Amino acid sequence: MTERKNVGVGGFFGVLVVFIVLAPGCGTGSEPTGGVADAGQSDSGRAHEDAESLGGEDPDFDAASSDVFVGGEGGEADVVSSPDGGETDGEVAEDSGTRPDSGGEDAGIPDSGADTGWDGGIPDSGIPDAGMFDAGHDVGSAVDSGVDAGVDAGSGPSHKSSLSVCWTDASCHRALVVSHGGNWNVGTMPFLSRKAFESAWQLGADGIEADVRVTKDGVPVIAHSSPIEFYESLDCAGKKIEEMTAAEVTKCHLAPSTTETIQRLDDLLEWSKAKLIMHLDVKETADLPATFATIIAKGASDRAFIAAGTGELANDIPKIAGWDQLFYMARVRSGAEATQTVSVASAQRIFMFEMDRSYGDAAEAQLSDIIRNVMIPGGVKAFCASDKSYITEQVHVDMYHQGFDGILSYALPAGISAAQKVNAERGYPP
Does a structural domain hold residue 288? Answer: yes
In a domain, 325, yes or no: yes
Q: Are 338 and 370 in contact (CB under 8 A)?
A: yes
What 8-state DSSP symbol labels residue 371? I
Q: Is residue 110 part of a domain?
A: no
Distance CA 15, CA 3 (A): 11
**Looking at residue 412, which CATH number applies to its domain?**
3.20.20.190
Cis peptide before 59 (omega within 30 of 0): no
With respect to residue 415, please indicate whether it lies within any of the assigned structural domains: yes
Asked if residue 4 lies in contact with residue 87, where contact means CB atoms within 8 angstroms, the answer is yes
Count the Cβ atoms, other than its own, within 10 Å of residue 1: 13
272 is in which domain, residue-wise?
9-89+115-426
* 102 is a domain residue: no
Q: What angle do CA 341, 331, 292 make, to 5 degrees?
A: 100
| Residue 78: strand pairing partners | 70
Q: Which regions of the chain are under pLDDT 70?
A: 1-155
- The Cα 377–Cα 410 span in angstroms is 29
pLDDT at 26: 60
Question: Residue 83 falls within a domain, yes or no?
Answer: yes
Instruction: Give the per-residue pLDDT at 324.
Output: 98
Answer yes or no: is 331 within a domain: yes
Q: Which of 405, 396, 407 is nearest to 426 (CA)?
A: 405
Task: Calculate the CA 274 to chain-centre distance.
Answer: 19
pLDDT at position 371: 98
Identify whether 97 is part of a domain. Answer: no
pLDDT number for residue 206: 98
Domains in the chain: how many in total? 1
User: How many CB atoms are closer than 10 A to CB 54?
Assistant: 12
**What is the per-residue pLDDT for 389?**
80
The alpha helices in 24-171, defined as continuous H runs, are 51-54
What is d(CA 47, CA 225) in angstroms, rounded to the nearest whole number? 9
Cα 98 to Cα 105: distance, rounded to the nearest angstrom? 20
pLDDT tens digits for 7-18?
333 433 443 443
pLDDT of residue 430: 86
